[in-house]
Amino acid sequence: MSRIGKMPIPIPDGVTVKIEDGVIKVKGPKGELSKKLVGNLGISQENKQITFTVLDDERQTNAYQGLMRALVNNMVTGVTTGFVKRLRIVGIGYRGETKGNNLVLNVGYSHPVEFALPEGVKASVSKEGMIDLEGIDNELIGNTAAKIRKIRPPDSYKGKGIRYIDEVVRIKPGKSAAKG
């Protein structure tokens, strides 16, 4: 039994939830999101709350209950407050800037790397090299952040590269330090 899946999702004021043909649509002040229902689950909306129920005894269905509850909860959070993912550019001469719907990164290659932001993601870059990604879809924000990080992952010897704000990079000793 999924403990997370059993918890009801509260629906705040200003948010409407529609369930039609196995598709859940959540509309709020920041936008609208939709997700297809996965697994053999029942969904009900009562008293400003959404609950998911398991319709069979399969182990995978219990997993889907927790998954769908988490995804719909993220949809409700996204349309009310939104999500922000922060990245940090570390390295001398490494910098980034936004040009329209593109993120231009100078991260040690012979040319600047242009990254086209997907629809629904806004980016801003500060002078200190902080990249803030904002949007209402948590999955899209996370995937975009992972793709940006993949352009120049952190180096394990000097620590240069693009990393998440809370990521800890372990620095390895170099050749000269490793000799006895």
* Domain CATH number, residue 18: 3.90.930.12
Contact between 171 and 157 under an 8 Å Cβ cutoff? The reply is yes
Q: Specify whether 114 is located in the same domain as 152.
A: yes
- In this structure, which long-range contacts are made by residues 112-116, counting pairs with CB atoms below 8 Å and at least 24 apart in sequence? 113/151, 115/147, 115/148, 115/151
Which residue, 59, 80, 101, sits at the end of a domain? Answer: 80
Q: Specify whether 100 is located in the same domain as 154.
A: yes
Residue 119 lies in a domain: yes
Q: Specify whether 18 is located in the same domain as 40.
A: yes
Residues 82-94 have pLDDT tens digits of: 999 999 999 999 9
Q: Specify whether 88 is located in the same domain as 62.
A: no
Residues 13-70 have pLDDT tens digits of: 999 999 998 899 999 999 999 999 998 999 999 989 999 999 998 899 999 999 999 9
Quote the pTM value.
0.89
Average pLDDT, the chain: 92
Number of domains forming the structure of the chain? 2
Residue 14 lies in a domain: yes
What whole-number distance in Å separates Cα of residue 13 and Cα of residue 80? 9
Give the pLDDT of residue 1.
57
Give the pLDDT of residue 179.
60
Q: Which domain holds residue 122?
A: 83-164
- Closest C-alpha among 150, 136, 96, 141 to residue 117: 141
Residue 63 lies in a domain: yes
Residue 72 lies in a domain: yes
Q: Which residues contact 91 (CB under 8 A, 6 or more apart)?
A: 107, 108, 158, 160, 161
Residues 121-163 have pLDDT tens digits of: 999 999 999 999 999 999 999 999 999 999 999 999 999 999 9
Q: Specify whether 17 is located in the same domain as 70.
A: yes
